[in-house]
A and B are shown apart, each in its own frame.
Chain A
Amino acid sequence: MTRRHSFIRKLVYAALIIPLLYLTSYLGQPSIIKQEGVEGETGGVLAQLQTKYEFSPVELGKIDPASETIKLVTFGMRGPAANWLAWQAQQYQMKKDWTNLTATLEQLIKIQPNFVDVWIHQGWNLAYNCSVQFDDYRERYRWVIKGINFLNRGRFYNTKEPKLIAEIARVIAYKIGRADEHEQFRRLFRNDDEFNKGVPRNERDNWLIGKKWYRKAEEMVDNDSSVRKKVPNPRVFFSKASMCQLAYADTIEKEGTFGEKAKKAWEQGGKDWVAFGKRDMPTTDGRICRLGEWERYLDERDKLIVELEALAGGAAEELVAERMEKLTPEQLQARAIPTEVRTYEQQALAQEAETLLHITPEEVARLCDDRQKANKLVDQIAAMESLARLTKGYRGVVNYEYWAQRAAVEQSDAVLEARKTVYYADKALAEGDIPAALQGYRSGSAAWARVLAMCPFLLPDVNRQNAEREDDDETVDALEHLLTKYATALDIRNELFPEGFPLDMPPGPGLTGAVEHLVLQNYHSQEARRKRAKAQKALAENDLPAASQQYKDAMTEWFTLIDDLPHLEQMSCRNIGHEILQDVDAYAKVLGQLKLPVPVDFPLKRFMWVQITHDPATVMARQKSDQGAELVRKKDWAAARQAYEESLARWWTVVQHYPTVAVDRTICEEIQEDVDAFIEVNKELGQKLPDPFPLRDFLEKNQARLDDSHPTEAEASE
């Protein structure tokens, strides 16, 4: 190669290099931020795009030299490297290699410091998934804190990410406050000096600290319009801080703090919730609404309708009258009947009538002389209508009304008293002081009954379309808790709920209504009633086998209901208890007609046993039996015979009244013992046994059946 060739080649290289350098500079020149004394520059195309989409590292957060170095040395292989590390982290997690998992996450976040979702996902992963892998709750807590710290570090690289702050708040508030081990977590959190550096101990409540973080996220959104679009669901986002306050109030009560502190906590919760309701929320159609002003939107709509009707000058009323004339007599008749007493058919007819009578604003507008003004009003009505509808929907998302009402109610002395009474009753029960517990539950029941009479809205509407239990059915939870604990205390004393429970019930449905409400809410009660209706229909058609089958199914449904609400066994609601007893009776009658005995696997055995045990006849039979035994010991045979005779007479009443005695091994054995004792006493006296002796015959006949059947698992465990 000659020198000339070499020179030409160099020239060609230079010619190629210069445009490439220009292209590189055009594309990749970094921007210079305008500062004091420094003139800013927009930089190359990439820098401009980064600025436009707010994606430059400077915009996102602080620059970490270690992270930048690691990004640089991956030579553009950042994507594959991140994938590889994420996969490795997953493998380590699967193998429970926590040291390597955290080490890998360190590398991962150094490579992707500005990917907020990586921070959020891995922070959550540490606090939730890794944490639960540990058996020791203290280790679990450490991992929750690790998750929080991890998220907190993400803020360093991502200073404009409200989502990240909200996630920190969520873990602090909800993971610590709602986990299974929330009691322990909250205690550890209070005692955690390392995490709560500088926070006084009395302010170290996870809900309050969570609230502060949520507020921090809210402030970021309020102060910087550029981050507003990063909030995916503003209704939920802005509700969280107030929800934390409400949860705080609720939690401290559950932990035994009542009085002024609890009252103030609820007051603050109420204030926060009202403030949340006054916040401007963007709607999906680009308008602004306030959740607390839904009623105002409806009022304004109604005012506009009145204005429109006034503009029509009575034409609307005429139209209504005209349509009224077209209604059928049946429709008119149905409409005249009050809603509560309408049958299904009447309801349908009344509904038809209402639809026909309904006049839309457009129809009214067509009757107006000033059509232009009328059309304007129609548009305004439609806009207000849609705003009210949207607001209502948003309120549903955060359960606005429920929390507003609850915050108001919980501040009341009645509710505070009810909760306090039940809390101390629980404590007494746990300490084994049953009389105090029973007394507490009685007072607590009365207190709750007063609250429900005052605020019936606390119980969710059972007729709503989705009658499933909701997480925030706190009143239902509180009532269930009260009833279950009360039932436990009664069970220890072998007592049923007092007749007319609760004793000092104020006017209104009170607690009985509440239990009925719980029953009604339960799918199995509805199902049991449906089966009963079918059985009754089958009976009416004289189809006894079908009726028997339907009743049998109803028994199973009642059994499942009692499994869900065990206090029913002890007659927490007499109405429901009697309803079940009537069904059992009806079932036994059908079986009797079919000449079949009550099946040995009868599901409501336990329920019936409780009822039989508390029946006055059983109580008397037992008393007489005890007397007989005592007299036998004293060898007063004649008196003993008398006592046993009376006992057996009572047992016979029980057997006749409760056909299910036949399948109750315990009761049968008890009766058998009395029969045997009676026979023994007769032998001693040299007297003949009565003939006929139906109770003995019943037992002999039944014994064979019971012997053939193996005891059920429940019986065996009992």
Chain B
Amino acid sequence: MIIEKEPLPFSEWLWSGANIFSSDFWHGKVAVWGPQRWLLVFATLAIVVFLLGWLVSILRHGPVRGTSLTFRVLQSTIVDLLCMSPRRVWALMWLAIRDALRRRVIVVFAVFIVILMFGALFLDQDNEHPVRLYISVVITTTSFLILMLVVFLSSTSLPAELKDKTLHTVVTKPVRPSEIVLGRILGFVAVGTVLVAMMGAISYLFVVRQLNHTHTVEQAKLEPIGTNAAVEVEDTKGEGEKDREAQKGGNAPEAAGVALIGKSGETNHHTHRVFIAPDGRGRLDWNKDHWHRATQHESEGKITYKVGPAEGLLQARVPVYGKLHFTDREGNKKERGINVGDEWSYRSYIRGGTPASAIWSFENIRPDRFPKRIPIEMTLGIFRSYKGIIDQGIPGSLLLRNPKTGLMVEVKVFNAKEFTTDVHTITRTILPTNVSRMTLVQTADGERYVSEDVDVETKNRASFDLFDDLTDDGRLEVWLQCLAPDQYFGAAQADLYLHASDRVFWLNFAKGYFGVWLQMVLVVAIGVTFSTFLSGPIAMVATLSATLGGLIRPLMIAIALGTVYGDGKQADLGGGPLESAVRMVNQQNVVVDLDKGIQTDLIKWVDDRTQNVLWGMAQLIPDLNEFSAADYVSYGFDVPDNLIAQWTITVVGFVFVLFVLGFLFLKTREVAK
């Protein structure tokens, strides 16, 4: 799975510990995030709003009365916020729920069901990774429908009640504006929650049902290994898949000539290779992210095969990630490897046949976490600078190094596979093929790994213990090297991890839907806030814009900073929105400067202002995509609890601010007074 933005550890996210009063912070050298950032922004905004209000009040009513009025408003605001009655909020929440039901929200659910019923028509039936496809489709569809619903619901409810004077009846009762706003938010969230839960449950059933299948295996279509048919079937399989089958514990027949090989019947647009061992046990090989067990049965002299359900499809792997750094061909420690000219600079590359390495540093690797073995899973990028031998993979090697003693042991030599998860299991007792000592020394330019000879005794040791010899207080380094001269391996931090354990899939699926739920909560809060001071249609357009902005926030920021084009490193290439429009009309290349003159100056002036405004807007909008766990779930990775906690706190922070804003806006309206 690609993780372009790595989540921070929870404690670090919660409180970075940066001193916001230091000059480093104000010069942008230290960043803060999470609650600390929230507090900073919220406090600044609150102070600015308060001072502005005070100033306006002084201008309107004079210094004494103005000040008195300001503080009276502040006092009543605090009272309104602190003295909310849960009973009244509950009643208002019910009012919102009834309002939502009256507006036939269930229709959205019906639409969802219809989409799922015909979903298969829109999906790529031959996709190599059906799990990824199905899960991302159901989560995206749910998210889209729910967000559209709550945009409509939350933004039009209050204005409609204001228009038909229903709210006037409500405010004749002893309710506070804060209760009205909170009641609305909670009411719509409750409706959304029920819908998300229903959609989640249906989606889960849909995914499981769509993917659950078995195959037929006919004896007539099986042939003994070694015949032409065997060669033919083997040829169509990739190395990566074959290896993975072995890793997943398929019972590969060993005795050639007596085992059977062939093809299964087609189900769900795919077939499998079939291996039946001489003892009657067999497997349907790895294809489309799963495999099946097969067993042979004999009744009345007739041999039949029973194929089990798909295995390996729905997973929730818990990975342990390490920190990645590189060495160049001279062994110098580097942040990144070589760029081989790939447009996407996510992976950086190491040159084969040289000491250049990609090094992952893991922590807390202890026997209690990995009692018998460590499964290393990796997905590499491969770049051939020459064709080489086409039908042979690029060889690579995995080494383990003790960060303290520098002892380094080669544990695997393998042929690299691309775009597939390659599994290498390292047992606790390692029988080494190559032992060396790699010491990190300081040089004038930084740090450098220097290879040293190991003593004869160490070199001749028959085995090494993974934890005793190669870890230091739980720290372990995994080194990756490319063995083919002038060929390259590409790696990013998330490309290699230790597979610690597996969690229950349905729970992970629920976490994915929790992300959708958080998005929904945010949009409800935005909608309700807008509806407190805008009329119905305007509030809806504003909420819709904010939601769309939230969905494309990274693009907005890229437009604001002028880094849309290329790899995002060349700012202002092609200019801002107006310049881009002019270039499009004139069919002008982005690297050619516009003609100098007042026209260009004007375009750039307008673009500067537009980009500043866009940047400001992007800062106020939450990034809704950040709450999407679709990738984690669809790629079979457990959604980290840390991430769930961060998202929840972030949403609570946004909702609180939106609630206060909404309440203040409503409070200023005549109806609520």
Interface residues of chain A, those whose CB is within 8 Å of chain B, are 65-66, 69-70, 94-100, 102-103, 105-107, 110, 133-139, 141-142, 146, 149, 180-181, 183-184, 187-188, 191-194
Q: With a CB–CB cut-off of 8 A, which chain A residues contact B132?
A: 99-100
A137 to B387, CA, bound (A): 11
A137 to B381, CA, bound (A): 15
In contact, A136 and B126 (Cβ under 8 angstroms): no
In contact, A137 and B344 (Cβ under 8 angstroms): no
B128 on the interface (CB 8 Å rule)?
yes
Find A135's partner among B136, B346, B416 (CB 8 Å cutoff).
B416
Besides A135-B418, A146-B126, 12 other A-B contacts (C-beta < 8 A): A66-B122, A69-B118, A94-B344, A99-B127, A135-B382, A135-B393, A135-B417, A139-B419, A149-B126, A180-B387, A183-B390, A184-B391
A106 to B390, CA, bound (A): 31
Find B239's partner among A69, A136, A192 (CB 8 Å cutoff).
A136
In contact, B122 and A191 (Cβ under 8 angstroms): no
In contact, B122 and A95 (Cβ under 8 angstroms): no
Q: With a CB–CB cut-off of 8 A, which chain A residues contact B129?
A: 99
Contact pattern, B 546-579, Cβ under 8 Å of A = 1, otherwise 0: 0000000000000000000000000000000000
Find B235's partner among A95, A106, A191 (CB 8 Å cutoff).
A191
Shortest C-beta distance, B496 to chain A (Å), equals: 17
A137 to B418, CA, bound (A): 11
Contact pattern, B 597-631, Cβ under 8 Å of A = 1, otherwise 0: 00000000000000000000000000000000000
Contact pattern, B 224-240, Cβ under 8 Å of A = 1, otherwise 0: 00000001100111111
In contact, A70 and B122 (Cβ under 8 angstroms): yes
Q: With a CB–CB cut-off of 8 A, which chain B residues contact A194?
A: 271
B197 on the interface (CB 8 Å rule)?
no
Shortest C-beta distance, B438 to chain A (Å), equals: 28
Q: With a CB–CB cut-off of 8 A, which chain B residues contact A65?
A: 121
Shortest C-beta distance, B221 to chain A (Å), equals: 11
Closest residue of chain B to A66 (Cβ to Cβ) is: B121
B335 on the interface (CB 8 Å rule)?
no
Q: With a CB–CB cut-off of 8 A, which chain A residues contact B231?
A: 191
A100 to B239, CA, bound (A): 23
Q: With a CB–CB cut-off of 8 A, which chain B residues contact A100?
A: 132, 136
A100 to B132, CA, bound (A): 9
Interface positions of B from 1 to 17, Cβ below 8 Å from A:
2
In contact, A180 and B390 (Cβ under 8 angstroms): yes
Find A184's partner among B133, B240, B343, B390 (CB 8 Å cutoff).
B390
In contact, B127 and A97 (Cβ under 8 angstroms): no
16 contacts between A and B (CB under 8 A): A70-B122, A99-B127, A99-B129, A103-B136, A133-B418, A135-B393, A135-B416, A136-B393, A137-B390, A138-B236, A138-B239, A139-B418, A142-B238, A146-B126, A180-B390, A184-B390
Given the interface pairs A134-B418, A135-B384, A138-B236, the reply to whether A98 lies near B118 with Cβ below 8 Å is no
In contact, B127 and A103 (Cβ under 8 angstroms): yes
Q: With a CB–CB cut-off of 8 A, which chain A residues contact B195?
A: none
Q: 3 shortest A-B CB distances, which residue pairs?
A: A66-B121, A191-B232, A135-B382
Closest residue of chain A to B240 (Cβ to Cβ) is: A136
Q: With a CB–CB cut-off of 8 A, which chain B residues contact A103?
A: 123-124, 127, 133, 136-137
Q: With a CB–CB cut-off of 8 A, which chain B residues contact A188?
A: 235-236
Find B238's partner among A107, A138, A191, A193 (CB 8 Å cutoff).
A138
A133 to B343, CA, bound (A): 13
Q: With a CB–CB cut-off of 8 A, which chain A residues contact B121?
A: 65-66
A181 to B126, CA, bound (A): 24
Find A138's partner among B124, B237, B271, B387 (CB 8 Å cutoff).
B237
Interface positions of B from 273 to 331, Cβ below 8 Å from A:
none
Shortest C-beta distance, B89 to chain A (Å), equals: 38
Interface residues of chain B, those whose CB is within 8 Å of chain A, are 2, 118, 121-124, 126-129, 132-133, 136-137, 231-232, 235-240, 263, 271, 343-344, 346, 381-382, 384, 387, 390-391, 393-394, 416-419
A95 to B235, CA, bound (A): 28
In contact, B122 and A107 (Cβ under 8 angstroms): yes
Shortest C-beta distance, A92 to chain B (Å), equals: 11
Closest residue of chain B to A180 (Cβ to Cβ) is: B387
Q: With a CB–CB cut-off of 8 A, which chain A residues contact B271?
A: 194
Given the interface pairs A134-B418, A135-B384, A136-B238, the reply to whether A106 lies near B123 with Cβ below 8 Å is yes
Shortest C-beta distance, B369 to chain A (Å), equals: 31
In contact, A136 and B235 (Cβ under 8 angstroms): no
Find A66's partner among B118, B124, B128, B136 (CB 8 Å cutoff).
B118
Shortest C-beta distance, B308 to chain A (Å), equals: 23
Q: With a CB–CB cut-off of 8 A, which chain B residues contact A106?
A: 122-124
Which of B126, B238, B239, B271 has the most CB atoms of chain A within a 10 A radius of its CB?
B238
In contact, A98 and B236 (Cβ under 8 angstroms): no
Q: With a CB–CB cut-off of 8 A, which chain B residues contact A96?
A: 344, 381, 419
Q: With a CB–CB cut-off of 8 A, which chain B residues contact A66?
A: 118, 121-122
Given the interface pairs A99-B127, A137-B391, the reply to whether A187 lies near B235 with Cβ below 8 Å is yes
Q: With a CB–CB cut-off of 8 A, which chain A residues contact B394?
A: 135
Q: With a CB–CB cut-off of 8 A, which chain A residues contact B418?
A: 133-136, 139
A142 to B241, CA, bound (A): 13
A183 to B343, CA, bound (A): 30
Q: With a CB–CB cut-off of 8 A, which chain B residues contact A191?
A: 231-232, 235-236
Closest residue of chain A to B120 (Cβ to Cβ) is: A66
A94 to B240, CA, bound (A): 22
In contact, B237 and A99 (Cβ under 8 angstroms): no
Q: With a CB–CB cut-off of 8 A, which chain B residues contact A136?
A: 238-240, 393, 417-418
In contact, B238 and A95 (Cβ under 8 angstroms): no
In contact, B237 and A97 (Cβ under 8 angstroms): no
Closest residue of chain B to A136 (Cβ to Cβ) is: B238
Q: With a CB–CB cut-off of 8 A, which chain B residues contact A99?
A: 127-129, 132-133, 136
Q: With a CB–CB cut-off of 8 A, which chain B residues contact A149?
A: 126
Shortest C-beta distance, A583 to chain B (Å), equals: 34
Shortest C-beta distance, A146 to chain B (Å), equals: 7
A184 to B136, CA, bound (A): 35
Shortest C-beta distance, A205 to chain B (Å), equals: 16
Q: With a CB–CB cut-off of 8 A, which chain A residues contact B419?
A: 96, 98, 133-134, 139
Shortest C-beta distance, B636 to chain A (Å), equals: 12
Closest residue of chain A to B390 (Cβ to Cβ) is: A181
Q: With a CB–CB cut-off of 8 A, which chain A residues contact B118?
A: 66, 69
A193 to B419, CA, bound (A): 25
In contact, A192 and B236 (Cβ under 8 angstroms): yes
In contact, B238 and A139 (Cβ under 8 angstroms): yes
A136 to B128, CA, bound (A): 15
Which of B137, B236, B271 has the most CB atoms of chain A within a 10 A radius of its CB?
B236
Q: With a CB–CB cut-off of 8 A, which chain B residues contact A69?
A: 118
In contact, B124 and A97 (Cβ under 8 angstroms): no
Shortest C-beta distance, A66 to chain B (Å), equals: 4
Find B2's partner among A97, A105, A193 (CB 8 Å cutoff).
A97
In contact, A138 and B235 (Cβ under 8 angstroms): yes
Given the interface pairs A66-B118, A146-B126, the reply to whether A95 lies near B236 with Cβ below 8 Å is no
Shortest C-beta distance, B487 to chain A (Å), equals: 10
In contact, A110 and B236 (Cβ under 8 angstroms): no
Shortest C-beta distance, B550 to chain A (Å), equals: 17
Shortest C-beta distance, A88 to chain B (Å), equals: 11
A105 to B122, CA, bound (A): 11
A99 to B128, CA, bound (A): 7
In contact, B343 and A94 (Cβ under 8 angstroms): yes
Shortest C-beta distance, A170 to chain B (Å), equals: 21
Closest residue of chain A to B231 (Cβ to Cβ) is: A191
In contact, B126 and A110 (Cβ under 8 angstroms): no
Shortest C-beta distance, A193 to chain B (Å), equals: 8
Which of A65, A69, A134, A183 has the most CB atoms of chain B within a 10 A radius of its CB?
A134
A103 to B381, CA, bound (A): 22
Shortest C-beta distance, A335 to chain B (Å), equals: 56
Q: With a CB–CB cut-off of 8 A, which chain B residues contact A187?
A: 235
A97 to B343, CA, bound (A): 14
A370 to B263, CA, bound (A): 84
A132 to B133, CA, bound (A): 23
Closest residue of chain A to B381 (Cβ to Cβ) is: A96
A107 to B133, CA, bound (A): 13
Q: With a CB–CB cut-off of 8 A, which chain A residues contact B393?
A: 135-136
